[in-house]
Structure 1
Amino acid sequence: MSPLPILMYHGITSGPDPLAVPVDDFRDQVGALTADGWELLGLTEALSAKAADPDRPVVALTFDDGYTDFLTAASVLAEFGARATLYVPTGTVGTVGYLGWDQVAGLAAAGLEIGSHSRSHRPMDVLAPDVLATELAGSRAELVGRLGVPVRSFCYPHGYTSRRVRRAVADAGYANACVIGRRLARPGDDRFALPRLQPTPGADVRSLVATGEPGLTPVAKRALRPAWRGARLVAARLGHQLT
């Protein structure tokens, strides 16, 4: 089975946000992948496509946070006949800068997958079990209830997870979940910790989906993960929040 590139976007806008990709760059990236013969799908659909045909040329597109500028991204996706997964933190829907429920429902009706990004967008791996269960099951129930569509995919806020959290995600009824990871998803990867790649403005997206993110940064981040979780757990117990 060939790897599955999973791309992670946040804002599609110009500005100071280092995670944002301007719309012209985004259009160029989507256009380049489509021209190369890649099928651009939401994550759950992409996983199903790879299961049916392991060598199918599929790229999964994911968008975190549910910003209003996703409407611009959705227009670009429609130009190219592409689909995606939008991860929505239910607690921010309808607040300033975020999509409203009518807009999210319209996107779902247009064929985009809506996934959960929790309720309050807090790191899941430092939450107490009862709070974690509410963040996972509560957000999923609200999305299903308001949109009338299945909600199969979860995205860990800030990318933080643990074995305990992944079990809780599965228990809450999700079929898959994604982290940051900064590498290609490969056969045998945990379906509840699928790694993603982060395109940047002007990025060579063709190289990104072929080989993953370059350099030692992805390796270093994975190596530091346990120590950083410990620091955040201590901060959470003291009443602070680190991201």
Structure 2
Amino acid sequence: MASPADTVPLTGTGEPAGPLPGPFPWVAMYHSVGDRSPDPYRVTVTPERLAAQLRWLRRRGLRGVSVRELLAARAAGGGQGLVGLTFDDGYADFVTAALPLLHRHACGATLFVLPGRLGGHNAWDPRGPRKPLLSADGIRHAAAEGVEIGSHGLTHTDLTRADDAALAAEAGTSRTLLEELTGAPVDGFCYPYGAVDARVLAAVREAGYRYACAVAPGPLTGPHALPRLHIGQRDTAWRLHLKHRLHPLRRRPVKGV
């Protein structure tokens, strides 16, 4: 469990706001919601499974929210009953399958999208299957429905292997494009593949993001490398219970990040 001095909320400028008691927030990572066959990368949950997982949260007095709302609540000294819900890649099925279920269970979410692949598909997954991505209109629709829109970079590139120019474009240009598309600030970034190192983290911070999500960032853990838990089709009520109970035992972040 993180010590009070290790858990850092954010101010309106994106800078650390001081210590916050308790462990790092529980942030769930989803991708696609729809047909699971085939699903070689285990990135898809069925609508039925997502509905059951959201019901599980609500039965325990928990509510899924965007990462922006979660961090704001914690910075104000609250947020104990909130869980961050994130959906990576911007699949078109977010609007058709996930969003109605989020509304039904009074949950919010953060959707990390790729402005360099609007209306395209998940070409970065060589084993397939091909899944359509949201168009500009689809992203605007999600934003209008209260979903926080964040950047997943331009094209889903491993940023730890990108040169400085490509890294600046993936972080900075993607944010500019999304703010122009939605007409709203873009506060959050999500590292493709969860891949982050000190150089990539610095570039994302320099691009003006208030926070960034990773998967298991280890010693880089902090406001610009928030750890997340993968939630998949196999996560029934019992597995969710274990993940929730074990979350406070996760590795402590390093101070001063």
The TM-score normalised by the length of structure 1 is 0.82
* Mapped contact 1:2–1:54 kept (Cα < 8 A): no
Q: What root-mean-square deviation, in Å, do the aligned CA atoms of Structure 1 and Structure 2 show?
A: 2.1
d(CA) in 2 for partners of 1:182, 1:27: 29
Contact 2:195/2:214, CA 8 A, preserved across alignment: yes
Once residues 197 and 113 of structure 2 are traced to their aligned partners in structure 1, the CA distance between those partners, rounded to angstroms, is 21
Matched, 1:191 2:211: no
**Counterpart residue number, 2:37:** 15
Instruction: Identify which of 136, 141, 146 aligns with 1:101.
Output: 136
The one-letter amino acid of 1:192's match is H
CA distance in 1 between counterparts of 2:248 and 2:164 reads 34
1:6-85 matched pairs, under 5 angstroms: 6-13=27-34, 14-17=36-39, 18-54=42-78, 56-71=80-95, 72-85=97-110
CA distance in 1, matches of 2:183, 2:116: 18
State how many pairs are aligned: 212
Please give the per-residue CA displacement for 1:5-33, whole angstroms capped at 9, x wherever unaligned: 10000111222221211110110001110
Contact 1:182 1:212 in 2 (8 A): no
Please state if 1:165 is matched with 2:185.
no
Task: Structure 1 unaligned segments of length 5 or more: list them.
Answer: 220-243
**Structure 1 moving runs of 4+ over 4 Å:** none
Give runs of aligned pairs for residues 216-227 of structure 1, distance below 5 A: none
Q: How many angstroms does 1:82 deviate by?
A: 0.3
Percent of residue pairs identical: 34
| 2-structure distance, mates of 1:104, 1:81 | 20
Match for residue 2 of structure 1? 22
1:129 has 2:133 as partner = no
1:88 match: 113
Contact 2:32–2:44 under 8 Å retained in 1: yes
**What 5-or-longer segments of structure 2 have no aligned partner?**
1-20, 122-131, 252-257
Quote the Cα distance in structure 1 between the aligned partners of 2:217 and 2:156.
20
Q: 1:239: which partner in 2?
A: none
Q: Is the 8 A contact 1:23 1:73 kept in 2?
A: yes
Query: Are the equivalent residues in 2 in contact too, given 1:115–1:153 (CA < 8 A)?
Result: yes
* SS of residue in 2 equivalent to 1:201: coil
Q: Look up the match of 1:111.
A: 146
Counterpart contact for 2:217–2:226, Cα < 8 Å:
no
TM-score by length of 2: 0.78
